[in-house]
Structure 1
Amino acid sequence: MIMLEGYSITKLARESKDVRDSITLSIGHLGIVSLNILSMACIGTWSFCYMSYWYSQICWLIMI
């Protein structure tokens, strides 16, 4: 009976480690995904402002 309980505790410890590793891996993936989304948002905002600036310059040149 003691051997069986020891085995089940060991198995439970391994399973909890697997769950902990998968949670850590998921958090790591979420961090990478959020960083990619943030960088894409910054690049998108910068390019929109840059193109808006040049479009307004071209409009002024056409009006003059």
Structure 2
Amino acid sequence: MLKKLLPRLGVSCVLLVTLPLMADEAISYFEIPHIFGGVAAIASCIGACLPVLSIFQNSES
């Protein structure tokens, strides 16, 4: 489990740093209203969590 967790945790950390920056750049480039900045921030945080959460996809409770 730890062998799978560490690389996915690393990917999540990288995504947590890069996705909000990329979303801000896309919003400023396409001149999207600021309300969508919050939506993009929430979506990027959820997207950054997906590599770690996918470990538990097939686990039995």
Same fold (TM over 0.5): no
TM-score normalized by the length of structure 1: 0.38
**TM norm structure 2:** 0.40
**Greater relative contact order, per chain length (Cα 8 Å cut-off, separation 6+):** 2
